[in-house]
Amino acid sequence: MPTRPRSGMLLLALFALLASSLTFFAAPRAAAADILLSQGKPATSSSNEGDGLAASAAVDGNLTGTRWASQWSDPQWLQVDLGKTYNLSRAVLTWESAYGKAYQIQASANGTDWKTLTTVTDGDGGTDDLALSGTGRYVRMYGTARPGGYGYSLWEFQVYGSSDTTTPPAGGAVKVTGTQGNWQLQVGGQPYTVKGLTWGPSVADAPKYMPDVKSMGANTIRTWGTDGSTKPLLDSAAANGVRVINGFWLQPGGGPGAGGCVNYVTDTTYKNNSITEFAKWVEAYKSHPATLMWNVGNESVLGLQNCYSGTELENQRNAYTSFVNDVAKKIHSIDPDHPVTSTDAWTGAWPYYKRNAPDLDLYSVNSYNQVCGVRADWEAGGYTKPYIVTETGPAGEWEVPNDVNGIPDEPTDVQKAAGYTKAWNCITGHKGVALGATLFHYGTEHDFGGVWFNLISGDLKRLSYYAVKQAYAGSTAGDNTPPVISNMTVSGATSAQSGKEFSVHADVRDPDNDPITYKIFLSGNYATGDKGLVEAKWRSTGNGTFAVTAPDKLGVWKVYIQAEDGHGNAGIETKSVKVVPPAASGTNVALGRPTTASSYQTDPTGGCPCTAAMATDGKNDTRWASDWSDPQSIQVDLGSQKAIHQIQLIWDPAYGKSYEVQVSDDGTNWRSVYSTTSGNGDVDSIDVSATARYVKLNLTARGTAWGYSLYEFGVYS
């Protein structure tokens, strides 16, 4: 069973995306171009309770002073004439205490023939902020049930939308058609192969990037979450002839945004809330011309292994896939015209869906380096539904071997591009069963995960971008393509001294003979957890070789060569470099000598015992660690009087902020040779001039909440 620590891969926008698109109970937001259409427009109603409570009071802009109130019976309605037909995006109802428990928001072109845009069955008063998808000149609230004896009363009925028109893709229902092994997806009765991309940019940036998606030959994008902010994305997709696989997020999920351990056997509240929320957005977007299908959950069958084990894990996986089936049935009851699928991280999830989710129209899987094995798994499993691949691409961080520094060896630019080509060929080779794919990832982040997977990094198109365009559009003839980097090497990759220069080399060619400009970046993903890329201090030494200054922070870093062609393209190659302490001069006379400390930690869960002797054993992967209190001390007996000229302290993250270096001839009477109150960890190389047998570090203030921890306490003579 795969274990995929992909949350470390992406800040995918996926995480900005998850923050905006995967939040279940966020209120809908009007698009930036949407305007308030209803204020001051003619309004009528089925009835008025009395003078001063007319329909016009609900569209006068006064949220607390004037209101419409109906007679005390059902049904009742309030409608507004917008004056012309608009695209409708949102309705905000501000209720007085007499509110509607059940009602519909309806639209009409003529004031006679009405279409329901959304339905509320559990209204609780206050303010209802509802997403709409549709057009109309007339909009009304049609109330069917009140919670008490009064009528319906609205302080304000606000309708938002725009007069912009879009050109939708070919209309009609979306269906999975055919028979065993000979299926196809059809849109409006026409065959449709999913040539898709997972979507990373913000909704606000959709008008900027959607035309580019279309230019690549793509016809589909996939999201992980659907809510009130989704409509502008759908509008932009429709305007460019692109359809959307609308995702619904379920905990725990997998990959970016994963987390939360739901009990699918017993937690009916979570399940009921989720199904209600999903139904709301299916109702809102089922008629949108961009909607292709609904995708329930992402990698949760796999993700449940982080919450449960053994028999309980099996119970939860069966309960989860049964709940997915409940969601599928609910979606079908609202929207019979679009298929429902559910994504997981490996085909090992499919037996659970086969057993528990018969109402799914097709399966989905995320598979990267193993994607060419999906066909064999499908055939061996005896499945009776087709599938799409909802994420694929080059080998991921969890699939590649480790490099010389013990971290995942990232594929080259050329290998990544070939990975997309291979994946698409394997998918299209499973004819009549694999109905297409959404390749990962159309994102724009220029960071650790973005360089690994994005087709565009910081608005610079990569080799992978053109590989996907070749697959989808059939040609890149006439395109200016990125520089190609090969044979990248790092001199001294396992021992670059902090603050010192190390050498990086690569062979670079541009297919179009464009002049190339370079940038060198560093990422501390493995050293500090920071996934961002920062430009290094570097200089060119000629012939594709660069002198790069190593960071002060110790650990394994990633160094990147970025070659730009001036036409919006870039080749990016990366290798690891291990940053080690700067070499000290002289002989370490503390090495292997008797060392004692005021305390040391023994807890094995923290990698201990961490004795004082581990600070003088010459190893940078063992450490002394003190109790979590002040003061503490560690001292070494050099065996005899030594002339000392340097002390080198190599700190674990638990460092000393205030400390004093003391020396002694007898181990009793001490004199100070150095002190500081501004220590900042990493490596302290301290020049001293002393002759002594004993050297002590007297630690008085910690730099963290932990104790003090030293990899090495070096004394140089």
pLDDT of 619 reads: 93
Question: What residues are paired with 225 via a beta bridge?
Answer: none
* pLDDT(58) > 90: yes
Segment 407-425 mean pLDDT: 99
* pLDDT(9) > 90: no
DSSP 654-698: S-EEEEEEEEESSSSSEEEEEEES---SSEEEEEEEEEEEEEEEE
* pLDDT(501) > 80: yes
* pLDDT(434) > 90: yes
User: What are 280-320's pLDDT values in tens digits?
Assistant: 999 999 999 999 999 999 999 999 999 999 999 999 999 99
Segment 419-423 mean pLDDT: 98
How would residue 428 be classed by pLDDT, with cut points 50, 70 and 90?
Answer: very high
Alpha-carbon gap, residue 133 to 34, rounded angstroms: 13
Enclosing H/E stretch for 341:
strand 340-344
User: What are 627-686's pLDDT values in tens digits?
Assistant: 999 999 999 999 999 999 999 999 999 999 999 999 999 999 999 999 999 999 999 999
* pLDDT(172) > 80: yes
Q: Which two tokens stand for residue 439?
A: 């390749």
Please give the share of the chain, as a percent, with pLDDT higher than 90.
89
User: What are 95-154's pLDDT values in tens digits?
Assistant: 999 999 999 999 998 899 899 999 999 999 999 999 998 889 999 999 999 999 999 999
How would residue 12 be classed by pLDDT, with cut points 50, 70 and 90?
Answer: very low
Residue-averaged pLDDT of the chain: 93
Cβ 514 vs Cβ 566: under 8 Å: yes
* pLDDT(254) > 90: no
pLDDT of 168 reads: 44
Task: Name the residue among 365, 427, 433, 410 with its Cα closest to residue 182.
Answer: 433
The sheet with strand 501-509 has its strands ordered as: 484-490, 501-509, 545-549, 538-542
How would residue 257 be classed by pLDDT, with cut points 50, 70 and 90?
Answer: low
How would residue 258 be classed by pLDDT, with cut points 50, 70 and 90?
Answer: confident
Q: How much of the chain is in helix, strand and coil states, percent to nearest 5?
A: 20, 40, 40
Cβ 77 vs Cβ 100: under 8 Å: no
Please give the share of the chain, as a percent, with pLDDT higher than 70.
94
How would residue 437 be classed by pLDDT, with cut points 50, 70 and 90?
Answer: very high
Cβ 118 vs Cβ 131: under 8 Å: yes
* pLDDT(177) > 90: yes
> What is the maximum span of the chain, computed from C-alpha positions, in angstroms?
104
pLDDT of 617 reads: 97
Alpha-carbon gap, residue 108 to 113, rounded angstroms: 6
pLDDT of 409 reads: 99
* pLDDT(455) > 50: yes
Alpha-carbon gap, residue 250 to 246, rounded angstroms: 13
DSSP 51-63: TT--GGGGGSS-T
* pLDDT(15) > 70: no
Alpha-carbon gap, residue 105 to 93, rounded angstroms: 10
Cβ 576 vs Cβ 558: under 8 Å: yes
pLDDT of 242 reads: 97
* pLDDT(231) > 90: yes
pLDDT of 605 reads: 80
pLDDT of 599 reads: 98
* pLDDT(4) > 80: no
* pLDDT(378) > 80: yes
pLDDT of 34 reads: 75
pLDDT of 18 reads: 38
Segment 472-478 mean pLDDT: 96
Task: Name the residue among 284, 412, 434 with its Cα closest to residue 367.
Answer: 434
Cβ 99 vs Cβ 125: under 8 Å: yes
How would residue 26 be classed by pLDDT, with cut points 50, 70 and 90?
Answer: very low
Cβ 389 vs Cβ 433: under 8 Å: no
pLDDT of 19 reads: 36
Task: Name the residue among 180, 229, 183 with its Cα closest to residue 202.
Answer: 229
User: Domains of the chain, with CATH numbers?
Assistant: 6-18+179-473 (3.20.20.80), 35-162 (2.60.120.260), 484-580 (2.60.40.10), 595-716 (2.60.120.260)
* pLDDT(27) > 80: no
* pLDDT(692) > 60: yes
Segment 536-541 mean pLDDT: 98
Ramachandran region of residue 693, left (φ > 0), alpha (ψ -120 to 50) or beta?
alpha
* pLDDT(16) > 50: no
